[in-house]
Amino acid sequence: MDKRALISSIAYCGLVCGKCHLSSRCEGCKNTASLCERSEVCYQRNCCIRQGLQGCWECNKFPCSEDMYGPGHDLRIKAFAAFIKEEGAEKLIDCLLANEERGIYYGLGRDYDGKNSEEEVIQLLKLGFLG
């Protein structure tokens, strides 16, 4: 998937659907032809649509503590949205791609998951600035 397509695949919450392990059968929550299985109940998606936002990073209440940003969810999700808010979606994709060349991978159970803080995820992303 090329850079523009990856940017377009960023979900309302900040996940990069084009890099997801389910991307062969799900094109994400923004693709109306192939909605994510959680689309109808996803707080972030429905809230952004109601407000006319491209993503949670545009909301003046970001970050909330609902659904994908609540306790028990991987910190990566909120960290990616925070990164987009500060640096932009294009920079997020640039960093993910640069990090991938270094052997740092996006995906369920991969390098951005299981971190102790959002800042730890953001620092890992920022390694892509060095590329």
CB within 8 Å of 93: residues ≥ 6 apart:
3, 6, 7, 10, 16
pLDDT at position 105: 94
pLDDT at position 35: 65
State the burial class of residue 97 (Cβ atoms within 10 Å of its Cβ: 0-12, 13-18, 19+). middle
How far does CA 71 lie from the centroid of its chain?
A: 17
Q: Give the range of the structural domain holding residue 87, as residue numbers without chain letter.
A: 3-130
Give every residue of the chain whose pLDDT is below 70, as ranges.
Answer: 32-35, 131
Give the chain's domain count: 1
pLDDT at position 33: 65
Percent of the residues in the chain that have a pLDDT greater than 90, as a whole number: 66
- pTM for this model (two decimals): 0.91
